[in-house]
Amino acid sequence: MSERSLLSDKAIPPRDRLIFALDVPTRAEALRVVDQLGDSITFYKVGMQLFMTEGYFELIEELKRRGKKIFVDLKFFDVPETVKNAVANLSTRGVECCTVHGSQAILEAAVQAKGTMKLLAVTVLTSLDRGDLDDLGFQCDVEELVYSRAKRALAIGCDGVISSGLEAARLRSDLGEKLLIITPGIRPVENRPVDDQKRTVTIADAFLSGADFVVIGRPIRQAPDPKAKAEELQAEIARLFPG
């Protein structure tokens, strides 16, 4: 198998493959970051931190007005009917995708309500390692747990999964090109490990392992020039996906 044999062949614009994690404390700060990044970022992940502030959906509408794509990362996890209703409400907001977590019944309920929105099942958070899974009572290998959850999610009708780049190659090889794989926990070699992400890979590692998208936050946001850093990463992606 060649180094590039797992590279995604989906018709995704290369610049859309970089999703910026807009993990900041306020809507005002989020818009400041969006202004700062300008056209270097086309796709934003808007998650739980901003959800707990005022103006979450107003922020989504503003991002849409600016022509941005939106990934809602709230990891819906509740009784199936509640998740179904939440996903149904979100599906009217014009976002690209959202995350759901939990049992088969929860995923089945979410699939029923997703409409044209892409539904992404969470496998194992990239902030967890083998020791954390032991603490949670999962007596199995991390890769086996990720694979089992991804296979189940695809069979139920989810569009894709959130998966570390460490497990992406097996998912792509065994589950095929249909599965969308979004990989967080991307860190430049010189930055690993520096924070709460434990199962990390580089941007090239992720894509060469079959990821369709990568999610990057702090390595861009904390750079001396965030827009220049984003453009540097976009150039790296463009070399992998020259179009």
Residue closest to 51 by CA, chosen among 19, 95, 12, 11: 95
Q: Which amino acid is at 160?
A: G
Q: Which residue out of 64, 75, 151, 227 is catalytically annotated?
A: 75
> How far apart, in whole angstroms, are the C-alpha atoms of residue 69 and residue 152?
27
Catalytic residue at 198? no
CB 167 within 8 A of CB 147: yes
User: Which phi-psi region, left, alpha or beta, contains residue 21 (left: φ > 0; alpha: ψ -120 to 50)?
Assistant: beta
> Would you state the structure tokens that stand for residue 73, as one six-digit string?
């990362």
**How large is the C-alpha radius of gyration of the chain?**
17
Active site residues: 75
